[in-house]
Amino acid sequence: MSKVDALFLTHYHSDHTLGIPDLWLTGWLNNSRKEPFRLIGPVGAKSLMTSLEAAYALDIKIRLEDEKLSPEGIATVVEEFEKDGVVYDRDDVKVIAFTVDHGAAIKPAVGYRIEYKGRAVVISGDTRYDQNVIKYSAGVDLLIHEVCVARTELLSSNPYMRRVMDHHTSPREAGQVFSLAKPKLAVYSHLVFLGSDKIPRATVEDIVAGTRETYDGPLQVGADLMSFEIGHTVIVRQRNP
């Protein structure tokens, strides 16, 4: 199992934070982690982690006494930031945070640019079409971007789905981002397929078709356990679950 040195948060929607207790607590079992759990995120990270520590205080107390686990391994170090800029710089790895637009009420929300020995990857985080993503992604090796797709009839008939869509990037808009940023490879992650009982969800094929209206470069739709090897070219590796 690969070691996780730090966890970076983009924003505080529950679908982006629910896995924290599992990573933090399960990673401590069997004394697998002997150093503090490091969490890095925009303002709100300290409050979140303090609350999780309180929620799991009894579990931690029991395991310290009963299983004799290392107290260092369950400790936490939380770093918050307020402005765009470098938030991690260690062992030739530099991580730069930048603000994105996930909606007027959803703040803070950020993306990340990761640099290592002349290579660069950008993770958009959850965002609408945003010039900041284009700025920080210019010429990167890998641009990992969110996407949301819905059929036109759903958006015209369902106000809630319209609001959801308005907080994300459509395939056509993402294609514009890719065309302007010109990454070696554009990758979709955080795929949001909207649908209802009466109107079926759109498909991966719809995502690709919408993207191709505005972008004709290298494109990959992400999947679980997919990884990327970055050199002069970007190699996609797919593992079966």
DSSP state of 35: S
Residues 84 and 94: their CA atoms lie apart, in Å, by 13
119 and 195 within one domain: yes
Residues 102 and 212 in one domain: yes
Provide, rounded to the nearest whole percent, the portion of the chain with pLDDT above 70.
99
Q: Read off φ and ψ for residue 46, nearest 5 degrees.
A: -65, -45
Query: Domains in the chain: how many in total?
Result: 2
pLDDT for the residue 1: 41
Q: Are residues 129 and 17 in the same domain?
A: no
Mean pLDDT of 27-53: 96
Rg (CA), the chain: 20
pLDDT of residue 181: 98
Q: Which residues pair with 39 in a beta bridge?
A: 7, 78
For the ranges 30-34, 80-84, 162-166, 177-181, which has the lowest average pLDDT?
30-34
Tell me the pTM: 0.94
Q: Is the domain of 121 the same as that of 28?
A: no
Q: pLDDT tier at 241 (50, 70, 90 boundaries)?
A: low
Question: How is 144-193 classified by DSSP, letter by letter?
Answer: EEEEEE--HHHHHH-HHHHHHHTTS--HHHHHHHHHHH--SEEEEEEEEE
Are 50 and 111 within one domain?
A: no
Residues 119 and 170 in one domain: yes
H-helix or E-strand containing 79? strand 76-81
The answer on 89 and 57 residing in a single domain is no
Mean pLDDT, the chain, integer: 96
Domain range spanning residue 175? Answer: 83-241
Mean pLDDT of 88-100: 97
* Residues 187 and 103 reside in one and the same domain: yes
Does one domain contain both 187 and 117? yes
Domain termination site, one of 23, 49, 81 = 81
Is there a contact between 70 and 31 (Cβ–Cβ < 8 Å)? yes
Encode pLDDT of 186-240 as tens digits. 999 999 999 998 999 999 999 999 999 999 999 999 999 999 999 999 999 998 7
Same-domain status, 138 and 44: no
pLDDT for 3: 80
Q: Are residues 58 and 99 in the same domain?
A: no
Q: Residues 111, 220: one domain?
A: yes
Domain CATH code at residue 225: 3.60.15.10
